[in-house]
Amino acid sequence: DIQMTQSPSSLSASVGDGVAITCRASQSVSTYVNWYQQKPGKAPTLLIYGASNLHTGVPSRFRGSGSGTDFTLSISSLQPDDFATYYCQQSDSVPQTFGQGTRLEIK
């Protein structure tokens, strides 16, 4: 199975800050990485697919980049609604494993 390792596991930031979350795959997955946001008690929602494609309705302050084994989710100018847990997922091969999650908290 392909392992997806996210860093950091948790992150504190203030409204208006920019942050970056990284995800490393244990082997190359081309651009087959998706990013999801999950708020407490809620289902995950899709943010980015194919490493860099913004899902419909997702604000442009979210940006995805990377290919091969290294991927980044960047959020510019954090809004109060952005404080949540973020997961990467590889869709290159089954099982389509998720990273362990990055919890973004308000400083």
Partner 1 sequence: EVQVVESGGGFVQPGGSLRLSCAASGFTFSRYTMVWVRQAPGKGLEWVSYISSGSTTASYTDSLKGRFTISRDNTQNSLYLQMNSLRDEDTAVYYCARASWDLSSKFYLDFWGLGTLVTVSS
Q: Does 45 bind partner 1 (CB under 8 A)?
A: yes
Q: Does 98 bind partner 1 (CB under 8 A)?
A: yes
Q: Which tokens is 76 given?
A: 């510019």
Q: Does 83 bind partner 1 (CB under 8 A)?
A: no
Distance CA 74, CA 50 (A): 15
Q: Does 57 bind partner 1 (CB under 8 A)?
A: no
Token pair 């920019």 in the structure block, residue: 18
Span 12-31, contacts to partner 1 by CB under 8 A? 31
The contact set with partner 1 (CB under 8 A) reads 1, 31-34, 36, 38, 42-46, 49-53, 55, 87, 89, 91-92, 94-101
